[in-house]
Amino acid sequence: MPQNDLIASVFRQEVRALSAYKVADATGLIKLDAMENPYTWPDDIKASWLEALKDCALNRYPDPEAKALAATLKRLNQLPDQFELLLGNGSDEIIQLLLMALPSNACVMAPDPGFVMYKQLSHCLGLNYHGIPLRADDFDLDVPAMLSAIEAHQPSVIFLAYPNNPTGNLFSEDAMLAVIKAAKGLVVIDEAYAPFADASFIDRLDQFDNLLVMRTVSKLGLAGLRLGYIAGSRAIIEQLNKIRLPYNINILTQISADFALSNKSLFDSQTRQICAERAGVFGQLNNMDGITAYPSAANFILFRTPKNQADSIFASLKKQGVLIKNLAPQGGLLSDCLRVTIGTPEENKAFLAALRKSLAGH
Ligand code: PMP
């Protein structure tokens, strides 16, 4: 059978229609495209970490429930006893397994623009995805539009990233509450960027039966470990646990994350540094002719370039050795938009200088 016929006969149409999620090659570039923490650890902490890993049993399967790590995460998040946690290989995996548990004709909803995996994974699983445009002036939730879409489509799951990626803002609390109250299905508050924001819904879990709060250690400084978690009622987490692969959190991640989170003050000081840099980069961006930067509660900043120049500015930055994210191809509210992750002071300086040069060249 020719390969094309084989592919068509084996794979679902929605899978064939998708493109794989592309990650840009950052070799040799200043990497400000993926919301990573630019800082590593001092040598003494690295040495203690390696010591902690030394005797781990690589020949054995890891604890399928990652009990020690889960207990640490519960303690750090001050999660009351009546709630449960499910751990994932990054929060990406949690989004995937939550969607895998839905009926085949289910509807999934999220604001648009939003984190692309909600849509990608919904499409991949053949679910009906509805992206509801944010307000154009301030990127806040369009509550009337959200409420009428909820009424019309009865979504099984609504994702609200708080702060939102790629816009960087926190939606207003009233708008969030209106959506949570109107939803008849689950509402997942995706707090991937919580370390940089002074806001969370984790202490409201007891107010709403349909609420889940998802977090990750990726943006905090542990993106390489691949660890995310979601908190919610025992009954909901019990269902999700049936979909989870038994050993989804490997032993190196279990030990390393537990070790790292016991040194949380290190991350807290890195986070403070990133937030201080964010304020500086924001001010400098908004001082540049033709650039509008949007306020951010995350570790990145979305900014708008002069009309039809985003692609060439992005290319020029790359040529000067700085990789950021070009969002202009997504169109809509992101036309002419680029997104930069906050790096070290030196990286940010290099980015700002390269951007000034690109703008002068236009
Ligand atoms: N949620 C949001 C809003 C994100 O921006 C990201 C990563 N960019 C994730 C979840 C996934 O994070 P991870 O899989 O690294 O935990």
Strand-pairing partners, residue 328, are none
**Are residue 288 and residue 202 in the same domain, yes or no?**
no
pLDDT at res. 302: 98
Q: Is 234 helix (H, G, I), strand (E, B) or coil?
A: helix
Report which ligand 1 atom has the smallest distance to the Cα of 161: 3
Give the model confidence (pLDDT) of 8-58 as tens digits.
Answer: 999 999 899 988 888 999 999 999 999 999 999 999 999 999 999 999 999
Task: State whether the beta carbon of 316 lies less than 6 angstroms from ligand 1.
Answer: no
Structural domain span for residue 283: 3-42+265-360
Task: State whether the beta carbon of 231 lies less than 6 angstroms from ligand 1.
Answer: no
**Are residue 242 and residue 253 in the same domain, yes or no?**
yes
User: Rounded to an integer, what distance in angstroms lies between the CA atom of residue 347 and that of residue 217?
Assistant: 22
Give the model confidence (pLDDT) of 117-175 as tens digits.
Answer: 999 999 999 999 999 999 999 999 999 999 999 999 999 999 999 999 999 999 999 99
Q: How many other C-beta atoms lie within 10 A of the C-beta of residue 119?
A: 18
Q: What is the pTM of this model?
A: 0.97
Tokens 């951010």 correspond to what residue? 296
**Are residue 222 and residue 303 in the same domain, yes or no?**
no
Structure tokens given for 217: 């250690």
Q: Is residue 222 part of a domain?
A: yes
Q: Is residue 117 part of a domain?
A: yes
Task: State whether the beta carbon of 165 lies less than 6 angstroms from ligand 1.
Answer: yes
Q: Is residue 231 part of a domain?
A: yes
CA atoms within 13 A on the CB side of 111: 33
pLDDT confidence band for 315 (50 / 70 / 90): very high
Q: Is 338 helix (H, G, I), strand (E, B) or coil?
A: strand
Give the model confidence (pLDDT) of 259-287 as tens digits.
Answer: 999 988 999 999 999 999 999 999 999 99
**Are residue 161 and residue 244 in the same domain, yes or no?**
yes
pLDDT at res. 362: 73
Q: What separation in Å is there between the alpha carbon of 110 and the centre of ligand 1?
A: 14
Structure tokens given for 234: 């025992």
User: CB of 174 within 8 A of CB of 151?
Assistant: no
**Are residue 110 and residue 245 in the same domain, yes or no?**
yes
Give the model confidence (pLDDT) of 110-129 as tens digits.
Answer: 999 999 999 999 999 999 99
Q: What separation in Å is there between the alpha carbon of 92 and the centre of ligand 1?
A: 6
Task: State whether the beta carbon of 92 lies less than 6 angstroms from ligand 1.
Answer: yes
Give the model confidence (pLDDT) of 68-117 as tens digits.
Answer: 999 999 999 999 999 999 999 999 999 999 999 999 999 999 999 999 99
Task: State whether the beta carbon of 228 lies less than 6 angstroms from ligand 1.
Answer: yes
Report which ligand 1 atom has the smallest distance to the Cα of 164: 3
| CATH code of 275's domain | 3.90.1150.10
Closest CA to 313 of 327, 331, 293, 296: 327
Last residue of a domain, one of 236, 263, 290: 263
Task: State whether the beta carbon of 96 lies less than 6 angstroms from ligand 1.
Answer: no
Closest CA to 204 of 299, 79, 91, 103: 79
Ligand 1 pocket mutation, candidates 89, 93, 115, criterion most atoms within 8 A of CB: 115
Last residue of a domain, one of 245, 263, 281: 263
Dihedral angle, C-alpha 169, 172, 173, 175, nearest 10 °: -120
Task: State whether the beta carbon of 77 lies less than 6 angstroms from ligand 1.
Answer: no
Q: What separation in Å is there between the alpha carbon of 93 and the centre of ligand 1?
A: 10
User: CB of 354 within 8 A of CB of 337?
Assistant: no
Alpha helices in 156-197, H assignment, sequence order: 173-182
Task: State whether the beta carbon of 150 lies less than 6 angstroms from ligand 1.
Answer: no
**Nearest-CA residue for atom 6 of ligand 1:** 192
pLDDT at res. 21: 84
Give the model confidence (pLDDT) of 189-247 as tens digits.
Answer: 999 999 999 899 999 999 999 999 999 999 999 999 999 999 999 999 999 999 999 99
**Looking at residue 111, what DSSP letter applies?**
E
pLDDT confidence band for 1 (50 / 70 / 90): confident
Report which ligand 1 atom has the smallest distance to the Cα of 223: 15
Structure tokens given for 228: 């995310």
**Are residue 332 and residue 194 in the same domain, yes or no?**
no
pLDDT at res. 231: 98
Number of domains in the chain: 2
**Looking at residue 26, what DSSP letter applies?**
-
Task: State whether the beta carbon of 91 lies less than 6 angstroms from ligand 1.
Answer: yes
Q: Which carries the bigger pLDDT value, residue 302 or residue 361?
A: 302
Last residue of a domain, one of 204, 236, 263: 263
Q: Give the torsion sign (CA, 82, 85, 86, 92).
A: positive
Inter-CA distances, 42 with 45, 95, 233, 260, 324, Å: 6, 33, 38, 12, 27
Q: Is residue 334 part of a domain?
A: yes
Structure tokens given for 278: 């964010």
Task: State whether the beta carbon of 218 lies less than 6 angstroms from ligand 1.
Answer: yes
